[in-house]
A and B are shown apart, each in its own frame.
Chain A
Amino acid sequence: MTEKPLITFDQVWKTYGEGEASVHALAGVDLSIRRGEFVAIMGPSGSGKSTAMNIIGCLDTPTSGRYGFLGVDAGRLDRNRRAVLRNLYVGFVFQGYNLLPRTTAAENVELPLIYRGAPASERHKLAAEALEQVGLLGRQGHTPAELSGGQQQRVAIARAIVTKPTLLVADEPTGNLDTARSHEIMELLTRLNQDLGLTVVMVTHEADIAAYAQRTIGFLDGHIASDQLNRKAA
């Protein structure tokens, strides 16, 4: 592919604390992810994988080095500009679903559109479409408490894709689910990756979950220890 990569890390450092007590969560990472890729990030806790994911999702910025997202130097943008970037191009899926309690599935899904200033009629339409894509049509009026874990995660995925983002960042999306539910969610993510061309970056520490991705990047002590294409996908 001659297309420019979606995501580029160029000697990215992330340092917490100062002087003697400083810790390098990322120590000069180089990385590039192309549009449409499905990447799993693995590694033990403290390896820097979460920090990398936060930077990729424009939630965090590098201490030094360049983080390029969509050709923009996203690491230099201020809080509110990164908020716009997230709202327009990034969808998030978390381990704990992170839906608003006592708020219906439809309202949860509509939330990112509210911050975009979309009119109510458009929000309802897009939310219904997104819920249909994750197989929850007819559950619009249910609150998270009335849904199972798997269903809640589907609502969260609908919320992530309702804005038709370029990138989906998933932080251990199956961490709270049983095996059957986990595989259903992974199949859904795979389908979104293939059907919509959605770029997916997923952090996980389960090898069978990582196997759904086309590419697995292993982090260790702030460095990339391995970066390989998966046989199944390749």
Chain B
Amino acid sequence: MLWETIRLALLSVRRNVLRSFLTLLGIVIGVAAVIAMITIGSGTTEKVKNDISKLGSNLLVVRAARPERGGSTSFTPRRLEERDLIGLRKGLTNAKAVSAASQSTVRVVYGAENIAAQVTGTDTDFFIARDWDVSSGRIFSESEVRSGAGVCILGETVRQQFFGAGDPDGMSVRVNKTSCKVIGVLQAKGTSGFGQDQDAVVMMPLGAFQRRIAGNRNIDAVYIAAQDGVATSAVQESIEGIMRDTRRLAPDADDNFEVRDMTQIADAMTSATTTMTGMLGAVAGVSLLVGGIGIMNIMLVSVTERTREIGIRLAIGAHEKHILIQFLVEATVLSLLGGLIGIAIGLALAGAASLTLSIPFAPSIPIILLAVGFSALIGMVFGFFPALRGARLDPIDALRHE
């Protein structure tokens, strides 16, 4: 009986191809929009997550705080100094790596080639903290860091620019007019979420950077990696305590430094994109509602058009429920069909978007199943009233209907 009804519904969809298609259009557009939005949205979320995890997981960054605009006049940020670093190295028990770094964008030259690279002066812990290793050669030795030797590690972009397919090991490049010997090449990281080439970099020991490039003994930032299994928030608390002790801050004084938890930033950005996805999905959902009203409209027309047919069916023994089911199934089949077409179109759109925007294609099975279920539900809900109207018809009146 149900199978018969479904067959009948499909038959009636086929009989009015154009009208069925126009009816479906609302659902198709609605479902396609929802699927495309959510698939693209979750792709973006995934990309943001990846980008942030490229910076290194469990990473905390200590910097001199920027003065808050309009904040208390007593606030004075203080540059990070050797003392702060020593204090953190000694005091932190829940950190896996504590690394000082200073950066500057400088022109790097090799032969006739030159490139603007971000030059970072740092130490061996940096590679642990940032979860970054060399793909060839080696990182600095402890003695090179201590003495501030003129050695450097190239980022993949710099290597390619200067040496193409060749091996740069042992070659000399000029960084800001001083020469340094290449000892390794960093693993490629690709472009960051903010469109920055993370491989256009050169690493050198902090001492060498301070002496030869910066010309001062400043430290821009301290990168700290939390020990595995330790919450970054706990490490952040320890850091704040040690920094305040080292700097002898009075209990009521403001911090004159800032600690950033990259995990928190990652969470914040992820939740921002998730919220955005949800909102876009909701807006697209409104068009689904409109699609549902379209179905109701056409089902009412269909019931009126087929009043005589309903009369015949009632006369030869159909129950109210048979007529109700017939039109409900018809509406459901119609909207389900629209939903399936919509899912196909939505996924195609999301696929195209992921290619052009180079974000991951992240179709979500639960969302697709939800869309299928929801479009079926729309058919049932919006098909119910017209179907009931058909089922309640008086067979004598219905037979008389012209």
Contact = CB atoms under 8 A, between A and B. Distances in A.
A-B interaction: yes
B317 A86 contact: yes
Given A54-B396, A59-B395, A114-B1, A86 B15 contact: no
Interface in B33-64: none
Contacts of A86: 315-317
Contact of B317 (A94, A98, A112): A112
Contact of A102 (B15, B314, B316, B319): B15
A100 B4 CA distance: 15
Interface string A79-90: 110011011100
B303 interface: no
Interface string B1-24: 100100000000001000000000
Given A54-B396, A59-B395, A60-B396, A84 B317 contact: yes
B contact residues, range: 20 to 34
Given A88-B317, A112-B317, A116-B317, A100 B312 contact: yes
A87 B396 contact: no
A207 B309 CA distance: 31
A116 B395 CA distance: 18
Nearest to A120: B4
Chain A CB count within 10 A is highest, among B311, B312, B318, B322, for B312
Nearest to A50: B396
Nearest to B314: A83
B1 A83 contact: no
Interface in B152-201: none
B315 to A, nearest CB: 5
Contact of A92 (B308, B316, B318, B319): B316
B220 interface: no
B399 A115 contact: no
Interface string A94-134: 10001110100000000110111100000000000000000
Contacts of A84: 317, 319
B89 interface: no
Interface residues of A, number: 26
By secondary structure, the B interface counts as helix
A159 B313 CA distance: 11
B1 A117 contact: yes
A86 B316 CA distance: 6
Contacts of A54: 396
Contact of A87 (B4, B309, B317, B399): B317
A131 B322 CA distance: 25
Interface string B383-402: 00000000000011001000
B315 A115 contact: no
A112 B399 contact: no
A121 B312 CA distance: 23
A59 B315 contact: yes
Nearest to B312: A98
Contact of A59 (B309, B318, B396): B396
Interface in B305-347: 308-309, 311-322
B311 to A, nearest CB: 8
A79 B308 contact: no
Contacts of B396: 54, 59-60
A85 B308 CA distance: 21
A79 B320 contact: yes
Contact of B316 (A79, A80, A115, A117): A115
A88 B317 CA distance: 8
Contact of B308 (A80, A83, A98, A163): A98
Contacts of B319: 80, 83-84, 115
A60 B315 CA distance: 11
Best-surrounded residue of B309, B314, B315, B396 (most CB of chain A within 10 A): B315
Nearest to A87: B317
A114 B315 contact: no
Contacts of A80: 319-321
A94 B75 CA distance: 97
A55 to B, nearest CB: 10
Nearest to A97: B312
Nearest to A108: B312
A159 B316 contact: yes
A116 B317 CA distance: 8
Q: A-B pairs with the 10 shortest C-beta distances?
A: A87-B317, A112-B316, A115-B317, A80-B319, A98-B312, A115-B318, A86-B317, A83-B319, A92-B315, A59-B395
Interface of A: 54, 57, 59-60, 79-80, 83-84, 86-88, 91-92, 94, 98-100, 102, 111-112, 114-117, 159, 163
Given A92-B316, A111-B316, 7 more contacts: A54-B396, A59-B396, A79-B320, A98-B311, A98-B399, A102-B15, A114-B1
5 contacts: A94-B399, A98-B399, A99-B312, A112-B316, A114-B4
